[in-house]
C-alpha cells in the first residue's frame, strides 16, 4: 500500500510541476509598422536578456512564447533602419504587448559582405569607409563602391548603385571573381 501511495505521489508531482512552471511563464506579442502605417514584414525581434527571437509575419505581427515573468527589453531591427527598443513587463500567465513604428529613414544603408575576404577595405566614391563585412550609411544618389583585399590588391569588386532615401541594400562581394551580387 505504501508503495502505491509513493508512486501516486511521484506521478502527481511529475504532472503538477510542469503545469506550475507553465503558469509562471508569459508571452510577448506585438506589431511593427513602417512610417507610413503599413505592416513591416520580416523584421527581427529580439529579447536580448533571454536570447529569444522572432520574425514579423506579413501583417507585421510577432509572438515570443515561454517567457519567464520579469522585465525585458524588446529590440526590433531591419537593414537600413536604426534598431528600436522598448521595455515590457511580463507577468505570470499573461501576454505583454508592445508595438513599434519605424521612422522614415533619412539616408540609405548598404550592407556589404565579402565572404573569404573578411577585413577587405570598403571605399565609396574613392573614400575609405571601413572594412567588410559591415553596414555603411551613404547619402542618397549615385555611388561607386569598391571592396578590395588588403593582402592581394588585384582581388576586388566594383559596382555602382543609385540609392534613394530609405533604401536598404545588401551586396555580396566575390573578390576572387571581381563581381558583386545582391544578398
Q: Determine the Cα–Cα distance for residues 87 and 101; give it in Å rounded to an integer.
A: 15
**Nearest CA among 157, 154, 152, 147 for reference residue 121:** 147
Cβ 131 vs Cβ 117: under 8 Å:
no
The predicted-structure confidence for 63-75, as pLDDT tens digits, reads as follows: 999 999 999 999 9
- Confidence band for 157, pLDDT divided at 50, 70 and 90: confident
**Nearest CA among 23, 21, 42 for reference residue 32:** 42
**What average pLDDT does range 151-155 have in this prediction?**
74
Q: Is the pTM of this model over 0.85?
A: no
Domains identified in the chain and CATH numbers: 25-101 (2.60.40.4130), 109-182 (2.60.40.2070)
The predicted-structure confidence for 34-54, as pLDDT tens digits, reads as follows: 888 999 999 999 999 999 999
**What average pLDDT does range 97-108 have in this prediction?**
83
Alpha helices in the chain (DSSP H): 2-23
Amino acid at each position: 500500500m505504501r508503495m502505491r501511495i509513493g508512486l501516486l505521489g511521484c506521478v502527481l508531482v511529475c504532472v503538477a510541476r510542469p503545469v506550475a512552471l507553465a503558469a509562471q511563464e508569459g508571452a510577448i506579442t506585438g506589431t511593427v509598422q513602417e512610417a507610413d502605417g503599413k505592416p513591416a514584414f520580416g523584421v527581427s525581434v529580439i529579447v536580448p536578456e533571454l536570447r529569444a527571437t522572432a520574425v514579423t509575419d506579413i501583417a507585421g505581427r510577432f509572438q515570443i512564447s515561454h517567457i519567464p515573468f520579469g522585465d525585458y527589453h524588446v529590440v526590433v531591427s531591419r537593414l537600413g533602419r536604426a534598431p528600436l527598443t522598448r521595455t515590457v513587463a511580463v507577468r505570470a500567465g499573461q501576454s505583454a504587448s508592445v508595438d513599434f513604428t519605424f521612422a522614415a529613414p533619412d539616408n540609405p544603408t548598404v550592407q556589404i559582405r565579402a565572404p573569404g575576404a573578411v577585413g577587405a577595405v570598403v571605399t565609396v566614391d574613392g573614400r575609405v569607409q571601413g572594412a567588410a563585412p559591415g553596414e555603411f550609411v551613404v547619402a542618397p544618389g549615385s555611388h561607386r563602391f569598391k571592396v578590395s583585399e588588403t593582402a592581394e590588391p588585384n582581388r576586388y569588386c566594383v559596382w555602382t548603385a543609385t540609392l534613394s532615401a530609405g533604401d536598404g541594400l545588401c551586396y555580396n562581394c566575390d573578390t576572387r571573381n571581381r563581381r558583386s551580387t545582391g544578398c
